Amino acid sequence: MGFQAVSSESTEDRRAAGRTPFEGRVAIVTGAGSGIGREIAETLAAQGAAVGLVGRTLDRLQEVEKAISERGGSAASHQADVTDIDSLHDVVHELGAEFGPVDLAVNSAVSGAGQKFLCDQDEESWLDTIDTNLNGAFRLCRAVVPTMMERRRGSIVLVSSVAGKRGVPANTAYSASKFGLNGLIKSLAIELGPSDVRVNAVCPGLTNTQMLHNEDLYGRDFMDSIRTHFGPPDLTWPRFWKSAVRNTDLQRLIEPEEVADLTAFLLSDAARSITGESMSVDGGSP
């Protein structure tokens, strides 16, 4: 079996030509309406990519699209759900018609609601978490991988979590889904390597997003379970996460743009020899 030289343009070639890193590239980003997903979409657009914005809430996507357009970027809003594989295939087809074949893909759609100690965990919340976080990543990959393999061109980043590298109490479903993502990229990287397609994961720690600051979005069920089984009974969500942040080396929250910068690097030709990796951006978590 012979070996083939890497054909991607180098970062130096792009700089010499005065081109941005993703000029002429087409990206799809799920969960693009808010938080980390939005930051990733805006970063890719600022670096030249035409970005398909995917999420369940159209008005949020359109807000991101408008922000990108006002900065001179290209984006298109597509209402779809990672729990519906047909809707993702439709988006990939529509992006191909509008911008060209997708060669950059980011899965940032996430569900963190209903997290409890396993002894209290209801099956519906467990299945919802796994279906969104893990099966959703499978569905996006399934929608984009065949064309990437055919064209021998593509890079995928799945947004995982530090909870995918270590256990977290009252997070069995969430941690299981994120551990699954980190396993998925390992096997998928082996499958896609011969086609010059790369796949990696980023693993953020506690990140300064609305999800962190609004207890209803993530923390209420979680904290009820923590107070019941871990204590103390008067522990609050802000006290809990601030204590976790103090235990990191940098002792501060991660900013969404830090996750986006790492994601953009892994998607770029500067990372053309990196695949199958789950990279933490967590401030030095223990």
Catalytic annotation, residues: 174
Length of the chain: 286
Structure tokens at 180: 């699954």
- Residue written as token pair 């279906």: 131
Q: How far apart are CA 248 and CA 185, in angstroms?
A: 26
**Which residues pair with residue 28 across a beta bridge?**
52, 105
Q: How far apart are CA 160 and CA 279, in angstroms?
A: 9
DSSP 203-261: EE-SB-SHHHH-TTTTHHHHHHHHHHHTS-TT--HHHHHHHHHHTSSS-SPBPHHHHHH
Helix axes 172-192 and 123-130, enclosed angle (nearest 10)? 30
Report how far apart, in Å, the C-alpha atoms of 43 and of each of 62, 171, 229, 273 are: 16, 30, 41, 22
**Which residues pair with residue 78 across a beta bridge?**
54
Q: How far apart are CA 32 and CA 51, in angstroms?
A: 10
